[in-house]
């Protein structure tokens, strides 16, 4: 029917558009027109408006709801009218919820996308050395082929208007010889731009769909690959005693500048799925490869047909100038690559600081850390500014080349060819030259974008190919390694848990680890065979740093296997599952119950037993929401003991046959540890299950342990065997058991369970608050945030004046050429990144100055999103769109003034066009802003899931829970994809309508000028039409750009919301204490009250006590008694009342940084920063190496390393990974203690600071501390009596009030006293009384 309609149109309709022809079937009268109407209805209208049928991508799982785009008729699809209900809903309600967005189409779901793309894109699957770009081209080959076809249609239709303009002006000059009626050309001025617009919007529809699909695929691809990587990067040389934990994070750029990509792993992951993913601008690739060259070629053809060989002169100049843009493109590429390296370093540092924000605030480091971040940001901005300057050069070239080409061509046409310029030649050539300029501008401006995309794609490609994978994921074509991996399990029985002649390291390349003898890679060497007994309790013991955790990591496959012989191997049966409880407990951001279940089905009876046997019932009882209480990010609302027991409960609740427990007693008091040993390890839930237990509390489990492995320094197996036999043979083990028993007598529990935050500080179980989403337009406050920080106002004023002169010059040149024919063109200002620097500085200062309570309620991923994608928008999109709005504003004012000057009657139509554009823009922005906000908010959960997965990667792999985490990632990506698809489609909706309005204005003006051609010259008509075309095009583009600018200002809005958060008190001049303060560590507390939030209940009630300088004071009490609250109150970390005097000065009048620099706290799980040991002890280079070594010696590090190999000892240059995760917790506690000694604070608070250190080392450290810190006031928060029984005084808390406060001797004399009852009920009261008596004798 379409062909028949085309025939009728050619025979009987087209002749009506001419002066010389008549319709062929004119004699048939009304029958002809009836046939034409019927053919048009069946051949055009019905196909355009009939709904399309839906075909699911998977017939077996059709979705419940369909996206309107899947069934919309062709007309609705091409004009995006199927989005009208969404736009109308937004206009009526002023806000859209997530449920208002169109459902996710089945072909947009990430699970389907991954099933189709993984074999092509994932190097782990296809095994080819193919760049990610070519893999993407292969994956989307059909889509890009279709896009190429659409691009050709758009490019060709873009020349309909210039062709029509040429013929229209020719008609005005010589209408007597015209063949085609002028209304046809006027109609073409409407039809041509609309065809081009529809083609362009269809192009953008498909290319943005590809873009969103690419975001989803690459995000999941990076996530899947992260599940395979070895968290100890192979380029890092390891320290000998630092193999204790599972997560192995590489060093920052400062430590390893030669390999930024590898050294900033966590920062890289954040950048890969935010900034780099945003840089992959696939929508510009076809433009650069096809549209620009095609438009350039057609422009050259048209120019040659109009100007003859004169056009060749200008084109030749352009061709000769091509190397210059190539040079600028190369510079831009290098600058972008260097800038991204600096961005990686900044994001990594910010990410790491946020992960240790409590340490940062407790040490009063906010100002110093802020300066370090500012330094990294300034280096990044140097490259950003250089890139902007070269972008300016690039944009200037895109303006200059067409202008010079036009001038040279016209000069040659008139001066050399001696031909006269007429109106048709001039104005048609101007439009063609504008098209030529557009193609040059397209090529030169998209080239930097493509370069950025290439660099980002290469970075992602490097991550997918060059990161070190676990042995079991090593590519099969690497024959040497694949044979090792295969033999690791083939040489041993699959039913045994054993090792044979195996060596393990954290590095893949053995030669690399041994190349530097001063920092030799850690080796765990097992000579002969080591068998663990199935269905029994197996102990793994050894001194701190001996590699106990490394043995577990080797068994779990986390370390690299190096065979010592042909029959070497290791085996861990996984058929019946493996459960793992890490020494550094890992909990997810969810409820207590969710963390215990860990995806398993709920069994009420089993669950209750787990709660009881893991000593969690008292904790759950005091939580207001019970086991539905949210634990917060990284379990920040829980104490170390509570996290350890939840991690243990997860392992016990699982139905796995093998349970691996890494030092679960380290964070527990002895009473709780004994309860777990008796009820849990010997309970019915672990009966007949294989248990591998790392512990220092040997005597606690020795009576019922079946097998023991004793490790020595350097990662060697000293002995192994049944417990009774080992006690007879291994004298060192026997000695450790005796010491353990002696210490255990002293370690009678204070109370069960350990102290945690008071749960009454919140009224509900919901801890993490939903992210605020503003309603309506972006507020002036957000825009003012940028404009007020641009810098010198003269810069912005100068830019506007420059743009005004540029636009005025362009318009005058067009008028002059028209005047010349009648009688015989921009420089963009590039703003210096002043605003970007100031806003980033303000954001960091605001975040670092926030209260600890704010960090409890805001996931770190939200903060990181502001520091990455939102800051990136302020670096690029916001200033670019702002200058674009200013530039276009000036142009449309001048163009409109030119039209009205010559055709005053079109003042009203121009205003109507402007009004229609504003109405359309308002409808668009009311729909687009909430979509953009939801899109931004939905990105944070994806990042948060990444962070949580990386932090618990070893546990996830041990439980074989990767698939569950993959599914959760897919779900969160779908949550982001839904608003992302809607966001791009709504932009298409406004694009179609704005182009229709503009082309209607131009066509009507052309018709009017033709109708009134006798009232003005052809040159005036040509000029007015040229200005009208520019006005109608620019005014709608201005509206779109203005709306896009407002959408991008959502990043300003999001950052502005973080500039107005709850802040701690800022330092003042009056708050600076005297230089000598504090001269002593005396503390006086009067009527101290405290609460966790301003509107929360009190957790401390009118506490009054004093501590003399140099005293050792122990603090004990039951869970929720206020021990942790008291330490936080002394540091003013929570809202307090009353008065605290330190060395006679009221601390409420002292600046926080000064106060926290005078009081040092060592938490149970200390935190370290990536870098070297020297940088951790002295992050601001304030001490000499001699002082650092003295502090390490006092903390017991050198004692710990006695007898070890020189090459494996920890030195000041030893590398430390993020969080200190390449050290055991015991080693980290020693380093934290050394850092505290180095600070020389007058008050030192210890919170079970040596709980993870073996007993011999702990005894040495305690003796050393008494000598080194004899003039320091020690406040010891204790979970066991052994730690505080010999203190000068003991303070007992209960329900936030002081129950007892006196010396241990006096308290033990109080009948019915709290401390006396604890000691008398311990069963070891004689030993404890002797300790008190000994301390009193020494004190006297």
Rounded Cα gap, residues 278 and 286, in angstroms: 18
Question: Is the four-CA dihedral 750, 752, 754, 756 of positive or negative sign?
Answer: negative
Task: Quickly list H helices, 321-422.
Answer: 323-355, 357-362, 366-411
Amino acid 219: pLDDT? 92
Tokens of residue 291, six digits: 């549209």
Amino acid 1164: pLDDT? 67
Question: What is the tens place of the pLDDT at every residue in 322-367?
Answer: 677 767 777 877 887 888 888 888 888 888 888 888 888 888 888 8
Rounded Cα gap, residues 426 and 326, in angstroms: 31
Amino acid 232: pLDDT? 60
Query: Could you tell me if 652 and 610 are in contact, meaning their C-beta atoms sit under 8 angstroms apart?
Result: yes
Tokens of residue 294, six digits: 């095609």
Report which of 266, 35, 161 is spatially closest to residue 1003, judged by C-alpha positions: 161
Would you give the end-to-end CA distance of the chain in angstroms? 112
Report which of 3, 96, 103, 77 is spatially closest to residue 43, judged by C-alpha positions: 3
Residue 447: CB partners within 8 Å, gap ≥ 6?
A: 288, 325, 329, 332, 394
Beta bridge partners of 570: 499
Query: Tokens 């777990």, residue?
Result: 676
Rounded Cα gap, residues 752 and 619, in angstroms: 9
CA within 13 Å, CB half, 1151? 18
Query: Could you tell me if 1292 and 1314 are in contact, meaning their C-beta atoms sit under 8 angstroms apart?
Result: yes
Rounded Cα gap, residues 1072 and 1147, in angstroms: 11
Task: Quickly list H helices, 1012-1063.
Answer: 1018-1058
Query: Tokens 């969103």, residue?
Result: 212
Question: What is the tens place of the pLDDT at every residue in 391-417?
Answer: 777 777 766 777 777 778 878 888 888
Q: Indicate yes or no: pTM above 0.85.
A: no
Residue 442: CB partners within 8 Å, gap ≥ 6?
A: 287, 288, 291, 292, 295
Secondary element (H or E) of residue 438: helix 423-466
Query: Could you tell me if 263 and 418 are in contact, meaning their C-beta atoms sit under 8 angstroms apart?
Result: no
Amino acid 860: pLDDT? 80
Query: Could you tell me if 87 and 986 are in contact, meaning their C-beta atoms sit under 8 angstroms apart?
Result: yes
3-class secondary structure, 92: helix
- In the DSSP assignment, the letter for residue 731 is H
Amino acid 779: pLDDT? 56
Q: Cα 1225–1226–1232 angle (5° rounding)? A: 85
CA dihedral 153, 158, 162, 165 (to 10 degrees): 90
3-class secondary structure, 1114: strand
Residue 1170: CB partners within 8 Å, gap ≥ 6?
A: 249, 250, 251, 252, 255, 348, 352, 1216, 1217, 1218, 1219
Whole-number CA gyration radius for the chain: 37
Task: Quickly list H helices, 615-757.
Answer: 617-622, 640-653, 670-675, 698-701, 723-729, 731-746
Rounded Cα gap, residues 553 and 550, in angstroms: 5
Tokens of residue 1309, six digits: 């004399």
Secondary element (H or E) of residue 1162: strand 1159-1162
Amino acid 649: pLDDT? 94
3-class secondary structure, 336: helix
Tokens of residue 513, six digits: 């680890």
Amino acid 748: pLDDT? 42
- In the DSSP assignment, the letter for residue 749 is B
Rounded Cα gap, residues 161 and 533, in angstroms: 84
Report which of 192, 444, 166, 407 is spatially closest to residue 305, judged by C-alpha positions: 166
Q: CA–CA distance from 15 to each of 156, 164, 1250 (Å)?
A: 24, 18, 98
Rounded Cα gap, residues 1215 and 146, in angstroms: 52
Query: Could you tell me if 1298 and 1251 are in contact, meaning their C-beta atoms sit under 8 angstroms apart?
Result: no
Report which of 1290, 1293, 1322, 1302 is spatially closest to residue 1118, judged by C-alpha positions: 1293
Amino acid 965: pLDDT? 93
- In the predicted model, residues of the chain with pLDDT beneath 50 are 233-264, 475-477, 479-486, 510-520, 742-765, 796, 803, 807, 811-832, 1206-1207, 1340
Of all residues in the chain, what percent are helix, strand and coil, respectively (each to 5)? 60, 10, 30
Amino acid 1255: pLDDT? 57
Residue 279 CB burial class (10 angstroms; 0-12, 13-18, ≥19): buried
Rounded Cα gap, residues 1231 and 1176, in angstroms: 9
Amino acid 235: pLDDT? 32
Question: Is the four-CA dihedral 281, 286, 289, 290 of positive or negative sign?
Answer: negative
Rounded Cα gap, residues 1243 and 1142, in angstroms: 9
Amino acid 973: pLDDT? 94
Amino acid 750: pLDDT? 42
DSSP for 588-615, please give it: -SSBHHHHHHTTPPP-HHHHHHHHHHTT
Rounded Cα gap, residues 1335 and 425, in angstroms: 107
Query: Could you tell me if 686 and 659 are in contact, meaning their C-beta atoms sit under 8 angstroms apart?
Result: yes
Query: Could you tell me if 394 and 447 are in contact, meaning their C-beta atoms sit under 8 angstroms apart?
Result: yes
Task: Residue 565: count other Cβ atoms within 10 Å of its Cβ.
Answer: 11
């Amino acid at each position: 029917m379409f062909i028949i309609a085309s025939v009728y149109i050619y025979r009987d309709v087209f002749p009506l558009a001419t002066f010389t022809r008549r319709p062929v079937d004119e004699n048939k009268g009304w029958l002809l027109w009836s046939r034409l109407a019927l053919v048009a209805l069946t051949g055009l209208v019905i196909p355009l408006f009939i709904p399309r049928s839906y075909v699911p991508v998977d017939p077996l799982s059709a979705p419940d709801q369909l996206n309107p785009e899947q069934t919309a008729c062709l007309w609705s699809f091409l004009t995006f009218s199927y989005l009208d209900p969404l736009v109308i809903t937004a206009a009526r309600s002023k806000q859209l919820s997530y449920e208002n967005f169109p459902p996710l189409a089945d072909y947009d779901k990430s699970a389907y996308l991954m099933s189709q793309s993984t074999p092509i894109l994932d190097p782990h699957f296809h095994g080819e050395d193919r760049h990610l770009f070519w893999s993407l081209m292969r994956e989307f080959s059909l889509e890009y082929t279709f896009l190429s076809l659409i691009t050709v249609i758009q490019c060709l239709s873009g020349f309909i208007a210039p062709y029509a303009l040429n013929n229209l002006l020719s008609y005005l000059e010589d209408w007597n010889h015209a063949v085609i009626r002028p209304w046809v050309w006027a109609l073409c001025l409407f039809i041509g731009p609309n065809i081009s617009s529809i083609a362009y919007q269809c192009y953008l529809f498909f290319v943005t769909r590809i873009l969103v699909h690419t975001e989803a695929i690459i995000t999941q691809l990076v996530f899947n690959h992260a599940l395979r990587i070895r968290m100890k990067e192979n380029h890092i040389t390891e320290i000998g005693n630092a193999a204790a934990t599972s997560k192995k994070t590489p060093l920052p750029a400062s430590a390893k500048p030669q390999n930024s990509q590898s050294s900033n792993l966590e920062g890289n992951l954040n950048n890969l799925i935010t900034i780099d993913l945003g840089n992959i601008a696939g929508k510009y690739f076809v433009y650069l490869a096809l549209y620009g060259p095609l438009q350039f070629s057609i422009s050259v053809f048209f120019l040659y047909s109009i100007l003859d060989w004169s056009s060749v002169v200008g084109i030749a100049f352009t061709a000769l100038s091509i190397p210059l843009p190539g040079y600028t493109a190369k510079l831009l590429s290098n600058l972008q690559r260097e800038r991204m390296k600096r961005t990686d370093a900044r994001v990594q540092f910010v990410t790491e600081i946020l992960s240790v924000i409590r340490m940062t605030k407790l040490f009063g480091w906010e100002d110093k850390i802020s300066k370090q971040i500012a330094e990294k940001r300034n280096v990044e901005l140097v490259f950003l500014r250089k890139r902007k300057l070269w972008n300016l050069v690039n944009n200037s070239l895109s303006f200059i080349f067409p202008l010079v080409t036009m001038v040279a061509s016209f000069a040659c046409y008139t001066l050399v060819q001696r031909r006269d310029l007429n109106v048709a030649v001039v104005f048609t050539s101007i439009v063609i030259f504008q098209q030529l300029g557009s193609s040059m501008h397209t090529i030169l401006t998209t080239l930097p974008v493509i370069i950025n995309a290439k660099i980002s794609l290469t970075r992602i490609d490097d991550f997918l190919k060059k990161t070190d994978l676990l042995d079991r994921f090593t590519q099969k074509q690497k024959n040497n390694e694949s044979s090792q991996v295969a033999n690791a399990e083939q040489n041993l029985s699959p039913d045994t848990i054993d090792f044979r002649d195996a060596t393990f390291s954290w590095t893949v390349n053995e030669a690399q680890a041994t190349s530097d003898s001063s920092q030799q890679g850690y080796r765990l060497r097992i000579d002969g065979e080591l068998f663990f007994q199935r269905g029994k309790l197996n102990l793994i013991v050894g001194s701190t740093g001996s590699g106990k955790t490394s043995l577990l990591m080797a068994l779990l496959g986390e370390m690299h296997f190096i065979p010592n012989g042909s029959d070497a191997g290791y085996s861990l049966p996984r058929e019946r599952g493996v459960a793992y409880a890490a020494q550094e407990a890992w909990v997810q951001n969810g409820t207590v119950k969710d963390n215990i279940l860990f995806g398993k089905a709920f069994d009420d009876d089993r669950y209750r037993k787990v709660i009881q046997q893991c000593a969690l019932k008292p904790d759950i009882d005091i939580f207001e929401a019970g086991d539905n209480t949210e634990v917060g990010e990284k379990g920040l609302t829980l104490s170390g003991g509570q996290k350890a027991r939840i991690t243990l409960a997860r392992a016990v609740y699982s139905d796995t046959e093998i349970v691996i427990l890494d030092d679960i007693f380290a964070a527990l008091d002895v009473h709780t540890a004994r309860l777990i040993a008796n009820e849990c390890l010997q309970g019915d839930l672990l009966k007949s299950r294989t248990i591998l237990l790392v512990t220092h509390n040997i005597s606690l489990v020795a009576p019922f342990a079946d097998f023991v492995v004793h490790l020595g320094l350097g990662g060697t197996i000293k002995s192994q065997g049944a417990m009774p036999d080992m006690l007879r043979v291994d004298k060192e083990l026997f000695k450790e058991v005796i010491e353990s028993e002696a210490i255990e007598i002293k370690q009678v529990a204070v109370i069960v369970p350990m102290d945690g935050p008071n749960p009454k500080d919140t009224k509900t179980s919901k801890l993490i608050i939903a992210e605020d989403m503003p309603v309506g337009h972006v507020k002036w406050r957000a825009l003012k945030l940028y404009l007020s920080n641009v810098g010198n106002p003269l810069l912005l004023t100068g830019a506007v004046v420059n743009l005004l002169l540029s636009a005025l010059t362009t318009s005058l040149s067009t008028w002059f050429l028209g005047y010349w024919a009648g009688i015989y063109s921009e420089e963009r200002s590039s703003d210096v990144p002043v605003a970007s620097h100031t806003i980033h500085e303000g954001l960091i200062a605001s975040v670092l100055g926030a209260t600890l309570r704010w960090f409890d309620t805001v996931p770190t991923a939200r903060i990181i999103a502001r520091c990455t994608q939102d800051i990136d928008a302020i670096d690029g999109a916001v200033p670019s769109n702002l200058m674009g709005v200013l530039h276009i504003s000036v142009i449309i004012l001048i163009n409109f003034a030119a039209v009205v000057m010559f055709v005053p009657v079109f003042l009203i139509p121009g205003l109507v066009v402007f009004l229609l554009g504003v109405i359309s823009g308002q409808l668009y922005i009311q729909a687009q802003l909430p979509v953009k906000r939801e899109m931004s908010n939905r990105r944070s959960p994806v990042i948060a899931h990444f962070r949580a997965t990386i932090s618990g990667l070893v546990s996830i792999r041990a439980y074989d829970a990767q698939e569950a985490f993959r599914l959760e990632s897919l779900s969160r990506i779908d949550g982001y994809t839904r608003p992302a698809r809607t966001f791009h489609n709504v932009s298409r909706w406004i694009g179609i309508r704005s182009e229709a309005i503009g082309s209607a204005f131009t066509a009507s003006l052309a018709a009017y000028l033709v109708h009134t051609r006798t009232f003005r010259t052809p040159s005036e008509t040509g000029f007015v039409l040229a200005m009208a075309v520019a006005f109608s095009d620019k005014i709608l583009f201005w509206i779109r750009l203005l709306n896009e600018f407002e959408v991008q200002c959502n990043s300003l809005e999001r950052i502005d919301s973080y500039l107005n958060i709850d802040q701690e008190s800022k330092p003042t001049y009056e708050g600076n204490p005297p230089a000598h303060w504090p001269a002593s560590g005396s503390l006086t507390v009067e009527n101290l009250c405290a609460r966790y939030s301003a509107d929360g209940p009190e957790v401390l009630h009118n506490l009054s006590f004093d501590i003399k300088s140099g005293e050792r004071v122990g603090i004990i009490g039951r869970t929720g008694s206020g021990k942790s609250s008291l330490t936080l109150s002394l540091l003013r970390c929570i809202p307090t009342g009353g008065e605290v005097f330190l060395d006679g000065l009221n601390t409420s009048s002292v600046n926080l940084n000064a106060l926290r620099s005078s009081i040092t706290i060592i938490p149970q799980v200390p935190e370290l920063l990536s870098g070297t040991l020297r940088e951790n002890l002295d992050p601001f280079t304030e001490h000499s190496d001699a002082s650092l070594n003295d502090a390490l010696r006092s903390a017991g590090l050198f004692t710990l390393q006695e007898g070890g190999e020189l090459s494996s000892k920890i030195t000041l240059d030893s590398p430390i990974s993020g969080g200190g995760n390449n050290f055991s917790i015991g080693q980290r506690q020693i380093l934290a203690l050394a850092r505290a000694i180095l600070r020389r604070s007058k008050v030192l608070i210890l919170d079970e600071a040596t709980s993870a250190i073996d007993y011999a080392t702990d005894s040495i450290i305690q003796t050393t501390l008494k000598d080194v810190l004899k003039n320091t006031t020690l406040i010891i928060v204790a979970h066991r009596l052994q730690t505080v029984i010999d203190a000068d005084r003991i303070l007992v808390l209960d329900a936030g009030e002081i129950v007892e406060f006196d010396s241990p001797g006096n308290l033990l004399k109080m009948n019915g006293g709290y401390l006396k009852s604890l000691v008398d009920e311990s069963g070891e009261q004689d030993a404890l009384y002797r300790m008190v008596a000994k301390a009193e004798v020494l004190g006297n």
